[in-house]
Amino acid sequence: MHFIARLTCYGLMLYIAQLLAAEPQPAVQAAAQDKAQALEQKAADKQSPQAEPQAAPITRTEVQAVDPAGQAPLDDAITCLSRTLYWEAKGAERADMEAVANVVLNRLGHEGFPGTVCEVVKQGSEKSPCQFSWWCDGRPDQVEEEERYRVAKEIARKALNQQLRDRTDGALYFHDRSVAPDWSRAYIKTREIGRFSFYKPKDLAAR
């Protein structure tokens, strides 16, 4: 009898310890979103980035707590960037997703582009053409592959933390290599990475 009581007490203490050790999921998610907002503001300040206060990096645990099911509204930097990497580079290699992340961050705050990740991703949705095709293709935007989305969120975390090297050499535009859009002739091709070709304007001014 005493053995059962001790065992029950031990189990209860272990359960309480686990509850105390684990941060509530909403709190972790909120912390990640707050950090992402500060980081995107820092990345958007192309004129005086050194003058901005140091922004705390997003952790792996925090980024995975945001939109865990891949069905949340696209209204924060992590979700907008992660979902863009997931859909724009669906079925492609990790390097392709990293390169797409480079383009989004290169556009952020650049002349001719908006100052937040979500605005960059959704640009052109009110009047065509859409800058990112997945956002305007009329298909559901919910995630279908949990593991691939987890990878996309980790890449988004590194991009927002400015821990991701620019594979594209400053590109602001890209397209699938299976097509040859007319607009590409007006720009300088910077790189070809996986499925995509990357470009920047000849005069460094976005159009």
* Cis preceding linkage at 57, omega within 30: no
39-81 pLDDT, tens digit each = 999 999 866 655 556 789 999 999 999 999 999 999 999 999 9
- Angstrom distances, CA of residue 187 to CA of 112, 116, 136, 203: 15, 24, 24, 9
Residue 19 pLDDT exceeds 90:
no
Give the range with max mean pLDDT: 125-129, 154-158, 203-207.
Answer: 154-158
Q: 175 forms bridges with which residues in the sheet?
A: 197
Residue 24 has pLDDT above 70, yes or no: no
Mean pLDDT (the chain) is 84
Closest CA to 43 of 115, 97, 119: 115
**85: pLDDT strictly greater than 50:** yes
Which residues, including other chains, have CB under 8 Å from residue 61's CB and lie 6 or more apart? 28
Q: Which residues, listed in sequence order, are joined to residue 200 by a DSSP beta bridge?
A: 188
What does the pLDDT read at residue 73? 92
Reduced to 3 states (helix: H, G, I; strand: E, B; else coil), residue 170 is: coil
Residue 180: how many other CB atoms lie within 10 Å? 10
pLDDT at site 133: 80
Place of tokens 């989004």: 104
Q: Binning pLDDT at 50, 70 and 90, where does residue 15 land?
A: very low
Q: Are 102 and 164 in contact (CB under 8 A)?
A: yes
Cβ-based burial of 85 (10 A; exposed 0-12, middle 13-18, buried ≥19): buried
Type of residue found at 56: A
pLDDT tens digits, residue range 106-143?
999 898 899 999 999 998 766 667 788 887 777 787 89
pLDDT band at 5 (very low <50, low <70, confident <90, very high): very low
Question: What are the Cα distances from residue 47, in Å, to 56, 91, 104, 120?
Answer: 20, 36, 18, 18
- Residue 25 pLDDT greater than 90, yes or no: no
Residue with the two structure tokens 């099911």: 69
pTM reported for the whole predicted model:
0.83
Token digits for 65?
């707590």
pLDDT band for position 196 (50/70/90)? very high
pLDDT at 52: 56
For residue 134, give both structure tokens: 């997945």
Percentage of the chain surpassing pLDDT 90? 61
Q: Is 199 helix (H, G, I), strand (E, B) or coil?
A: strand
